[in-house]
């Protein structure tokens, strides 16, 4: 329940807030929306990995606590963890090979 609250409910609230927010500068709005869309992209990939490796990951002591800390780091405004993961790991995987 706690992982779902931190991993889904709070980011959903912040995403809705970012969509409806009217900042003085449009660049602020775009940056906020990009952060939350990036978070959802990374979260989706992690959910897929978590689903397929559940039995193995459950062998790790404190797995749910580590997952909770990771989700907080990924959505934190100061760390921009989701953006870091996307830029360094997911984007290179999604690039089309150059001919």
Q: Give the C-alpha distances (Å, rounded to integers) separating 27 from 24, 82, 86.
A: 9, 19, 20
pLDDT 10s digits, 9-55 = 777 777 767 666 655 567 777 777 778 788 887 887 788 788 788 88
Q: At 24, is the secondary structure helix, strand, or coil?
A: coil
Q: Give the C-alpha distances (Å, rounded to integers) separating 98 from 45, 87, 93, 95.
A: 24, 18, 13, 9
Q: Where are the domains of the chain?
A: 1-59, 61-98
Percent pLDDT > 70 in the chain is: 85
Q: Report the predicted TM-score, pTM, of the whole model to 2 decimal places.
A: 0.61
Which helix (DSSP H) or strand (DSSP E) does residue 9 occupy?
A: none
Quickly tell me which residue has 């001919």 as its tokens: 99
């Amino acid at each position: 329940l706690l992982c779902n609250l931190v991993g889904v409910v709070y980011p959903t609230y912040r995403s809705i807030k970012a969509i409806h927010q009217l900042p003085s500068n449009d660049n602020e709005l775009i940056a906020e929306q990009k952060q939350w869309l990036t978070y959802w992209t990374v979260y989706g990939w992690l959910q897929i990995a978590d689903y397929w490796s559940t039995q193995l990951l459950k062998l790790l002591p404190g797995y749910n606590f580590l997952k909770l800390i990771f989700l907080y780091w990924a959505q934190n405004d100061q760390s921009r963890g989701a953006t870091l993961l996307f830029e360094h790991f997911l984007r290179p995987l999604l690039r089309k090979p150059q001919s």
